Chain A
């Protein structure tokens, strides 16, 4: 909501903003210049000596701090006659700079100018490297920007719990640079993915993008040096916080670079590059895993160090930790599957001989490229090793003739006992119940909080009963899922007179509440006359007299998620109301 509101506020164009900033800055410089001039023409202060300088520095510093601690809204009226700061430097221009950094309104002007420069730099890079941005890229940028702002706000005020304005300044400056490079990396990634869709990208475009990535990487190293330097003064914790951010940025950048280099090499190499997919796979794996683990460690560090177990910030961090953990697990599962498929292929499908390839005399059916080496399936079809591998990762049949290649009892030439959890469908999760009892029935409770108050969570509790004894399976078909039940409930709330089994049957065909309702409305689905037996009992109750159940599992599905979304929304609204600084990111 606040974000939408913010988008509607007419922000000044970059041109107006820049000229305003320049005017403000020149005012500030002029003011400082006048101050120094007035000071130097004043005979009382013109005879500064060495001791005086030392003394006056102290006065100046205390003045500066007291100024910073003042409410920034109260801009002191610049009146040269009341001017009483002692100037510490001999050089005229150093004194001007000193005045600029000690008067509160001058400081704000300087900060504003710095941001203006950053935005202008971003605009310059955009013009030079990217040209016109695509809609997707703009959207990604916007999402990334708000996300970054949100998490860093949590970090500064929730985790670090900074108290003084100076600290805020330092952190904000740090994150501005970091965010700037993060956004550039995101933009480069999107653009690379787009460029990889085209065979005719000019070489110059690649050079520009690659050099931008190189520049980001170099800046990463500079930032890393900076945080090492700061870490020497501020301690190991601060160093760890800052270095983790730098490393994540560097890894993301390297990831894009790695993919880019592989892509360019692939497009320019003649013929087939056999091991291509292996390189790609391991590059992705290593970069993804390392980015996730560093991020995980970073968040864990925040949670433990910040001592914030009972606060909003901890909730947000826990959510992020949970997300990262599942991401990590998902990636590892995929890798296990990959390893299994590789092993399976190596064990069961031999490499084809030269003669077989010659007899076959055709290209690989997956990539349409010539075959120099290939694997032979039991059905006699030949494919590249890499092509076969990537297909078998998601399916288990021969691409050409659809012969099942799963490790069934008949398909194993080595006579190994097929593994019960083998790769019949590698990417499909195994059914939670033993296959001997496919008959499951569900209780399904759904609480939709948003119907009462907008921020109440909605959640679903699903109780699955699995019967031990095989039971007369005609009552409820095996496809009875919670989703189907839920859809049936929705239909029944519109048409209470319809029998539930009819509705479920139709839903199974249409897979859509709308279509079923349409079917009912148009009379394709008719309720039986009132005399017939109607099983419109609540869906979960119908098996209450069934055989004993052996397994009850409860799933709470989306409750926490909506709470999290709500908190995120609230935090964002607080954030936007606090920040007076509207960045017009019209890259």
Chain B
């Protein structure tokens, strides 16, 4: 099982290094284990996360691409769609069978034609436009909705922290 997943991950890695998308760097943590990736995501321009560099981990299942990887930010991120422990909550990362939030249509969920690049691009757009309807971090969603100033303040602090300033 892991053989085809390995081949596919190697193909994706090759493609990501040949034409890397803007603002995204991703690759295996070490050559010994291709099923554990590290990604660096730049905060999208003209948003409150601009300028930040956010590290994340991706863990692939042995039957990838039939099932989605798990993604987790390893830095602190105060965002409505990121759980306090760093796990990312976007529909593209949810397996077709399960539906934790109860209202996603299957069209938005994982399918084998998705890829690491598409996942990371949708994470970037999620950073730019939080979706406060399916909040993973209720506090963040509330702040985003009711006190935008404070949210931006916190985001700026996260950006500074991610750069080590």
Interface residues on B, range: 20 to 34
A280 at the interface (CB under 8 A from B): yes
Sample (11) of A-B pairs whose CB atoms are under 8 Å apart: A193-B2, A193-B62, A266-B3, A276-B4, A368-B7, A387-B112, A390-B63, A390-B66, A394-B66, A400-B111, A518-B138
A199/B6 in contact, CB under 8 A: yes
In chain B, residues 98-113, which have Cβ atoms closer than 8 Å to a Cβ of chain A? 100-102, 106-107, 111-113
CB distance from A151 to the nearest CB of B (A): 28
- Indicate if the CB atoms of A280 and B1 lie closer than 8 Å: yes
By a CB distance below 8 angstroms, the chain A residues around B35 are 197
**A interface, CB within 8 angstroms of B:** 193-194, 196-201, 262-263, 266-267, 276-277, 280, 365-369, 387, 390-391, 394-395, 397, 399-400, 402, 427-428, 508-509, 511, 515, 518-519, 522
In the complex, which residues of chain B have a beta carbon less than 8 angstroms from the beta carbon of A397? 96, 106, 111
Q: Is the CB of B101 within 8 A of A509?
A: yes
Contacts of A391 in B (CB 8 A): 66, 112
B46 at the interface (CB under 8 A from A): no
* Distance (whole angstroms) from the CB of A379 to the closest CB of chain B: 13
Expressed in whole angstroms, the minimum distance between the Cβ of B1 and any Cβ of chain A is: 7
Alpha-carbon separation in the docked complex, A486 to B93 (Å): 28
The answer on a CB contact under 8 Å between B111 and A399 is yes
Q: Which 10 A-B pairs have the closest CB atoms?
A: A196-B2, A365-B113, A266-B3, A366-B112, A368-B11, A399-B111, A197-B35, A198-B32, A402-B107, A395-B96
- The answer for the CA separation of A483 and B102 in the assembled complex, in Å, is 15
**Complex Cα gap A207–B9 (Å):** 25
Q: Does B12 contact A (CB under 8 A)?
A: yes
Given known A-B contacts A394-B97, A515-B138, A366 and B10 have beta carbons under 8 A apart: no
With A394-B96, A428-B97, A509-B102 in contact, do A399 and B7 touch (Cβ < 8 Å)?
no
Distance A365 CA – B6 CA, assembled complex (angstroms): 15
Q: Flag whether B19 is at the interface (Cβ < 8 A).
A: no
Q: Distance in Å from the Cβ of A504 to the closest Cβ of chain B?
A: 13
Chain A residue with minimal CB distance to B99?
A511
> B31 at the A/B interface (Cβ < 8 Å)?
yes
- The answer to whether B6 and A196 touch across the interface, beta carbons within 8 angstroms, is yes
A262 to B3, CA, bound (A): 9
Q: Tell me, rounded to whole Å, the shortest Cβ–Cβ distance linking A449 to chain B.
A: 31
Determine the distance from Cα of A194 to Cα of B34 in the docked complex, in whole angstroms.
10
Within 8 A of A (CB), among B1-29: 1-4, 6-8, 10-12
A515 to B6, CA, bound (A): 38
> Is B112 within 8 A of A365, CB to CB?
yes
Q: When chains A and B are docked, how far (Å) is the Cα of A200 from the Cα of B30?
A: 11
Taking a contact as CB atoms under 8 Å apart, the answer to whether A402 and B111 are in contact is yes
- Chain B CB within 10 Å — which of A266, A395, A508, A511 has the most? A395
> CB distance B8 to A367 under 8 Å?
yes
On chain A, the residues within 8 Å of B102 by CB distance are: 508-509, 511
Selected from A267, A515, A522, the residue in CB contact (under 8 A) with B3 is: A267
B4 pairs with A367, CB closer than 8 A = yes
List residues of chain B with CB within 8 A of the CB of A402: 106-107, 111
| Chain A hits for B33, CB < 8 A | 194, 197-198
Residue ID in chain B nearest A368 by CB atoms: B11
The smallest C-beta distance from A100 to any residue of chain B, in angstroms, reads 48
Docked Cα-Cα span, A368 to B10, in Å, equals: 10
Q: Are A199 and B66 in contact (CB under 8 A)?
A: no
Known contacts: A193-B2, A508-B102. The answer to whether A399 contacts B34 by CB under 8 A is no
Q: Are B3 and A198 in contact (CB under 8 A)?
A: no
Q: Hey, what's the 0/1 contact readout for B38-67 against A, CB within 8 Å counting as 1?
A: 000000000000000000000000110110
Which residue on B lies nearest to A281, using beta carbons? B1
Most chain B beta carbons < 10 A, residue from A280, A390, A522: A390
Give A450 Cβ to nearest chain B Cβ, in Å: 28
Q: Are A399 and B6 in contact (CB under 8 A)?
A: no
Residue from B6, B62, B107 having most chain A Cβ neighbours under 10 A: B6
Bound complex: CA of A427 vs CA of B101, how far in Å? 21
CB atoms of A368 and B96 under 8 A apart: no
**Complex: A365 Cα to B66 Cα, angstroms:** 11
From B32, B97, B106, B107, A200 is in contact (CB under 8 Å) with: B32
CB distance from A199 to the nearest CB of B (A): 6
Structural contact, B113 and A198, CB atoms closer than 8 A = no
Within 8 A of A (CB), among B112-158: 112-113, 138, 142
Contact B97 A199 (CB under 8 A): no
CB distance from B62 to the nearest CB of A (A): 8
A379 to B138, CA, bound (A): 41
Q: A390-B66, A391-B66, A428-B97 are in contact. Are A399 and B112 (CB under 8 A)?
A: yes
A199 to B112 CA separation, bound complex (whole angstroms):
21
A391 to B31, CA, bound (A): 28
Distance to closest chain A CB from B111 (angstroms): 5
Q: How far is the CA of A391 from the CA of B64 in the complex (A)?
A: 11
Q: How far is the CA of A366 from the CA of B67 in the complex (A)?
A: 11
Nearest CB of A to B145, in Å: 11
- What residue of chain A has the Cβ atom nearest to residue B115's Cβ? A368
Complex contacts, A427 vs chain B, CB 8 Å: 97
In the complex formed, the residue of A with least CB distance to B100 is: A511
Looking at the complex, which one of B11, B34, B101 makes contact with A198 (CB distance below 8 Å)?
B34
The answer for the CA separation of A526 and B34 in the assembled complex, in Å, is: 49
Q: What is the CA–CA distance of A126 and B162 in the complex, to the nearest angstrom?
A: 42
Docked Cα-Cα span, A201 to B11, in Å, equals: 18
Chain A proximity of B104: nearest CB distance (Å): 12
Which of B2, B8, B31, B100 sits near A263, CB closer than 8 Å?
B2
Min CB–CB distance A192 → chain B (angstroms): 10
Q: Looking at the assembled complex, report how far the CB atom of B12 sits from the nearest CB atom of chain A, in whole angstroms.
A: 7
What separation, in Å, do the CA atoms of A196 and B8 have in the docked complex?
Answer: 13
A431 nearest CB across to chain B (Å): 15
Q: Given A280-B1, A367-B4, A390-B63, 16 more contacts at CB 8 Å?
A: A194-B33, A197-B32, A198-B6, A201-B32, A263-B3, A267-B6, A366-B65, A368-B8, A399-B111, A427-B97, A428-B97, A508-B102, A511-B100, A511-B101, A511-B102, A518-B138
